[in-house]
Amino acid sequence: MPKRDILKAAATETLLTVRAGMYPLARLRPMPKPGAGTHPPVLLVHGYLGHRDMLRPLARRLYTEGWPTVERLGYRSTVARLEDVVDHIRDAAVPLAEAHGGPIDLVGHSLGAVASRAWIKALGGDRYVRRFVSLGGPHAGTSWYFLSPPWLHEALKPDGPWARLLNEGPEPVPTTVVRARYDHQVFPPQRARIDGVHEVVIGGYGHNGMLWSPQAHAAVIDALTEDDVG
C-alpha cells in the first residue's frame, strides 16, 4: 500500500540521516582498495547540509565493482552559493580529467546535482564530463526552497533563474536521473526529473537514504557502464 511505503521510506530516511551525522564512526571502516578496471574516474558531489563521508557507501560500491579512481568532493555547504559549488566542482574535475587524459564521470546528489548540471550545461563543463548522474537533484526546484538560506533561493526556487536556464534545450552529455519515489526534500518528488532524460525511481528510501540504497548504487553503475562492451 502507498501509505505503508511512505512510512517505510520515512523511517529509513530518519535512520540514515542519523547515520550520516555519525560520519566519524564511518571512517573507522577502511575503504576497499581501488579496482583494477578501466573505467574513467568518477567525481562524487554531495548536497546542501551534506558532507563527503555521506558518499562513502557509493564510493565503496564503485571500488568493489572495479573503478580505479573515485573522488569525493567536499565543500562548506552551509555558506556556499550555487556558483561557489560550481567552482569547487570545476577545480576538482578539470585536474582529474587532465590527469586521466579524457572526460570523467560526474555524480551529484541534491544541490550537488544541480551545481554539476549547471557546470556541465551552462559553464563549459561538458568538455570534461563523459556522463552525468543526478541523485535527487531538484532540477525544477522544490516547494521547500524557502527553508534554505536566501543565497540558495535562486537555485532551488521552482520558477527561479537556474531552474529556467537549465531546463532549456537538450542535455550536452548523456544524463541519467535517479530519484526517490517519496522524497521529502525535493517536493513534489517529480521536480527531480529532467525532461527527455531516462530516470530510475527508487522505492523504500528518501532523499538522503538513496546514498545508502543498493538499488540506487546499481542504477548509478548501470548509467556509467551503459556504453561498455563485453
Neighbour count for residue 163 (Cβ, 10 Å): 21
In this model, does residue 230 exceed pLDDT 60?
A: no
The answer to which of 3-17, 117-131, 202-216 has the lowest mean pLDDT is 3-17
Is a pLDDT exceeding 80 seen at residue 16? no
Bigger pLDDT: 37 vs 115: 115
pLDDT of residue 25: 67
* ∠ CA 77-78-82, rounded to 5°: 55
Residue 180, pLDDT > 50, answer: yes
Instruction: Please give the radius of gyration of the chain, using alpha carbons only, rounded to the nearest integer.
Output: 16
Task: State the pLDDT at residue 26.
Answer: 66
Output the pLDDT for position 1.
45
Which pLDDT score, from 0 to 100, does residue 27 have?
73
Q: Which residue has the higher pLDDT, 142 or 11?
A: 142
Give the pLDDT of residue 229. Answer: 41
User: Greatest CA separation found in the chain?
Assistant: 50
Q: What secondary structure does DSSP assign to 192-223, as a single string?
A: G--TT-EEEEEPS--TTGGGG-HHHHHHHHHH
d(CA 122, CA 58): 27
Is the predicted pLDDT of residue 8 greater than 90, yes or no?
no
Tell me the pLDDT tens digit for each residue of 148-178.
Answer: 999 999 999 999 999 999 999 999 999 999 9
- Using the predicted structure, report yes or no on whether residue 82 has a pLDDT greater than 70: yes
Q: Which whole number is the average pLDDT over 71-81?
A: 94
Mean pLDDT of 22-50: 87
Report the share of the chain in percent with pLDDT over 90.
80
pLDDT band at 145 (very low <50, low <70, confident <90, very high): very high
65 CB-near residues (< 8 Å, 6+ apart): 35, 37, 221
Which of 58, 35, 34 has its CA nearest to residue 46? 58
What is the mean pLDDT of the segment spanning 56-72?
Answer: 97
